[in-house]
Amino acid sequence: MTPTLDHRLSPELEQLRRTVEEFAHDVVAPKIGDYYERHEFPYDIVREMGRMGLFGLPFPEEYGGMGGDYLALGLVLEELARVDSSVAITLEAACSLGAMPVYHFGTEEQKRTWLPKLCSGEMLGAFGLTEPECGSDAGGTRTTARLDEAAGEWVINGTKCFITNSGTDVTGLVTVTAVTGRDESGKPEISAIIVPSGTPGFTVAAPYSKVGWNASDTRELSFADVRVPAANLLGERGRGYAQFLRILDEGRIAIAALATGLAQGCVDESLTYAQQRHAFGRPIGANQAIQFKLADMELRAHTSRLAWRDAASRLVHGEPFKKAAALAKLHTSTVAVDNAREATQIHGGYGFMNEYPVARMWRDAKILEIGEGTSEVQRMLIARELGLPPTP
């Protein structure tokens, strides 16, 4: 007998999904629009997420986590993003980019020091990778870290930009990639170093004025002779580039789940509107043009869900997942933009009004084709995984 795939969730995961679905609709939805319009970080919602254990979801219980995995995290992100992406990206960045590097590459002392507070949501972490002149070309890092052996300290200089969760009142650390030397061929040696918030010389700029994700925290960071203990090196010296590649591969699955949630939220809002909005004496949902739009939107959300869950399953089971993660991230981010555009069209003029969630979704969707690896980078990765040679 040929085995069949079963995509149904376990009772435990389904309960988690339902719990977060209720939280998103009962707690997040009524409040987030006001936060979004004020460009204000939703501390009360974040605290409640911490009490629910969501920030510790994919981490072992010994470090204060919930003992879950990336599939569980993805389910939570999808449900949150069905209502709002600012809240979802706050959780995604805190887990995938803030805490995960410490968990994967930290010493036991670093894990014991940082993870309990990161898992409880009492503290948020950030990942300082992108620089003003170094986006997709992450290997072109210009931030430097010099080891002052006499003092036993790293001395860091440079600038990072577009860093999520880096300037909140509860941000506790930023993991910074920096050039710590050169190899025999002159190639830069990139390492990762933990910089606690409040370290002298570490300056956090004012929040960016963004098109979307307006209830999340995103800032530029600067480092002027910032000194941290040599023990703050995260992982092996010179392995920072490889470490962040691993972090981004995993993070793309989380972003894909978030993008799927946004795409499904567009379906949810558009379906409700199509049933309630009347024109020419009947609901607009009775028009075949609207029905076909909604059918296509549901198709895109459905295939997106299959894509990110496939990638998450491969990761959870210890199988190669790089290509699956790139496929999921590329597909779901495109779908999110497509569904947001169609949802706005279905809502007509109301879709252009910020009081309607689809307007927020339209503003939030585009960044999904850019952050954690642009769509062009995903195509490069997929082509390489297919065995094609790198382009010049």
Q: Are residues 96 and 165 in the same domain?
A: no
Last residue of a domain, one of 103, 124, 145: 124
**Please, which residues have CB within 8 angstroms of residue 101's CB and are 6 or more apart in sequence?**
127, 175, 192, 234, 235, 243, 244, 247
pLDDT of res. 2: 47
- Structural domain includes residue 392: no
Over residues 98-114, the pLDDT tens digits come to 999 999 999 999 999 99
- Structural domain includes residue 164: yes
Q: Are residues 115 and 190 in the same domain?
A: no
Last residue of a domain, one of 124, 145, 162: 124
Over residues 364-392, the pLDDT tens digits come to 999 999 998 999 999 999 999 999 998 87
Selection from 93, 96, 106, 103 nearest residue 232 by Cα: 106
Q: Are residues 288 and 204 in the same domain?
A: no
**Please, which residues have CB within 8 angstroms of residue 384's CB and are 6 or more apart in sequence?**
390
Q: Are residues 230 and 354 in the same domain?
A: no
- Mean residue pLDDT of the chain comes to 95
Over residues 333-372, the pLDDT tens digits come to 999 999 999 999 999 999 999 989 999 999 999 999 999 8
Q: Which of 131, 372, 376, 385 is catalytic?
A: 372
- Structural domain includes residue 4: no
Mean pLDDT of 171-184: 94
Residue 5 has pLDDT above 60, yes or no: no
Domain with residue 43: its CATH number is 1.10.540.10
- Structural domain includes residue 2: no
Q: Are residues 36 and 104 in the same domain?
A: yes
Q: Are residues 247 and 229 in the same domain?
A: no
Which is more confidently placed, 12 or 134?
Answer: 12
Q: Structural domain of residue 307, as residue ranges? A: 242-385
DSSP-derived 3-state class of residue 74: helix
What percent of the chain has pLDDT above 90? 91
Considering its fold, how many domains does the chain have in total? Answer: 3
Residue 289 has pLDDT above 60, yes or no: yes
pLDDT of res. 241: 87
Q: Are residues 111 and 194 in the same domain?
A: no
Q: How many CA atoms lie within 13 A of 314 on its CB side?
A: 18
**Please, which residues have CB within 8 angstroms of residue 137's CB and are 6 or more apart in sequence?**
none
Last residue of a domain, one of 67, 101, 124: 124
Residue 118 has pLDDT above 50, yes or no: yes
Which residues, listed in sequence order, are joined to residue 192 by a DSSP beta bridge?
177, 234
| pTM of the complete model | 0.95
pLDDT of res. 156: 98
Amino acid (one-letter) located at 329: K
**Please, which residues have CB within 8 angstroms of residue 53's CB and are 6 or more apart in sequence?**
66, 119
Over residues 73-102, the pLDDT tens digits come to 999 999 999 999 999 999 999 999 999 999
- Structural domain includes residue 362: yes
- Structural domain includes residue 1: no
Q: Are residues 381 and 250 in the same domain?
A: yes
Residue 1 has pLDDT above 60, yes or no: no
pLDDT of res. 184: 81
Distance CA 369, CA 1 (A): 42
Domain with residue 262: its CATH number is 1.20.140.10
Token pair, residue 383, equals 């082509």
Q: Are residues 225 and 276 in the same domain?
A: no
Q: Are residues 137 and 119 in the same domain?
A: no
- Largest Cα separation within the chain, whole Å, is 81
Q: Are residues 40 and 135 in the same domain?
A: no
- Structural domain includes residue 29: yes
In contact, 178 and 158? CB cutoff 8 Å = yes
- Asked if 385 is an active-site residue, the reply is no
Mean pLDDT of 203-231: 97
Q: Are residues 66 and 169 in the same domain?
A: no
Domain with residue 155: its CATH number is 2.40.110.10
Token pair, residue 221, equals 């960071």
- Structural domain includes residue 132: yes
